[in-house]
Amino acid sequence: MIPEDIFEMQAAGRGTPEKAQFAALARRAGFHLAGVAPARPLEDYTIYNQWLKDGLAGPLGYLSDHRGALRADPRGLLPAARSVLCVGLLYNTPGPEAHTVSRYAWGAADYHDLLRASLKSLVEELLRAWGTFEYRIAVDTAPLLERSLARQGGLGWIGRNTCLIHEPLGSWFFLGEILVSVELPPDSPPPDRCGTCRRCIDACPTAALVEEPGGRTRLDARRCISTWTIEQRGPLGEEQRAASGGLLFGCDICQEVCPWNRRAPYSTEPGFQPLHPDPDLAELSAMPEEEFRGRFRRTPLWRTKYAGLLRNAATAMGNSGDAGYIPALRRLIEEAGDEAVSEHARWALSRLEARA
């Protein structure tokens, strides 16, 4: 649970009754962070655009599609926007120290659905409090630089791991935005408190966090295990397979080693409580597609699709060194209807047989 005084501290000095109402109603809607950013062109867009031009997005084509230029200015989504109401929803929950699934995907809920419902509830309360205004709700599927907006709204700074970090609550947050035609005094970005710490950079097993001159860090998505296991389709290169280790879906290493997450509080949201932080790989590899749809359809794990999850399970089995997975891999080679899955299973089997 987050202490009430943390939220009250954030709400202090909001400057107008409307901002105080927003903070109070955001808390009532279940959010743990709240702040206001101006709806104007973002200076960070230049950095973001250069990141795209340098090819660091890798296979994340949705970041550079026809909507890419909209990220330069929130008013591209809502021309009447004057302010952006930024909120954060904690998703950290207790779970096993060793896990193969990224923390945000442990629960039964798709965070998009939960965030959108909470934002809609907040808008309804604001309409009752402020009267009619134009608005647009956004979650991470919208073409917004949401971390930059959250930083401008005072929710935290963007750390060396490229995540938004709040002092003292850490980085385990989903972010959401409401673009409104109401002009509110903006909050101020907090100072960067990473200091000289570089634990996330040093801990990344694939060197995906690249230090640039001047101390800035950029994420090379082409090297990121989360990209490989969630977004990248088809077979992975053998070097990528070996570097993925036992991770099945995503990677949290750069957040887990962050000192600001040592005392991160836990969410009590039922939809985020852990159901499958560390699935049995052999069982998963034998799962029929119909069962996959029924079990994961409304969860983040749906993102990787059935073939992607089987491919990742085969990779993790191959990296485990456990000869007990050999029968599961042989079966997967015979029964897989996807060439990438078969290729990964053959690779994994050869590794285990060589060790045996």
Provide the annotated active-site residues. Answer: 140
Characterize 307-333 residue by residue with b for buried, 16 or more Cβ atoms within 10 angstroms of its Cβ, and e for exposed. bbbbbbbbbbbbbbeeeebeebbeebb
Which helix or strand (DSSP H or E) is residue 173 part of?
strand 173-180
The alpha helices in the chain, defined as continuous H runs, are: 4-11, 17-28, 44-53, 111-130, 146-152, 199-203, 225-226, 238-243, 253-256, 281-285, 289-296, 305-320, 326-335, 339-355
Largest CA distance in the chain: 70
**74-98 as b/e: b if 16+ CB within 10 A:** bbebbeebbbbbbbbbbbbbebeee
DSSP, residue by residue, 62-73: GGSSTTGGGGG-
Q: Which residues pair with 209 in a beta bridge?
A: 219
Give me the DSSP letters along 80-123: T--EEEEEEEE------SS-SB-GGGSSSS-HHHHHHHHHHHHH
Q: What are phi and psi of 307, to 5 degrees?
A: -65, -35
- State how far the Cα of 55 lies from the Cα of 61, in Å rounded to an integer: 10
Residues 6+ apart with CB under 8 A from 47: 216
What's 136's DSSP letter? E
The residues that bridge with 90 in the sheet, in sequence order, are: 173
- Reference 75, options 37, 38, 44, 39; nearest CA is 39
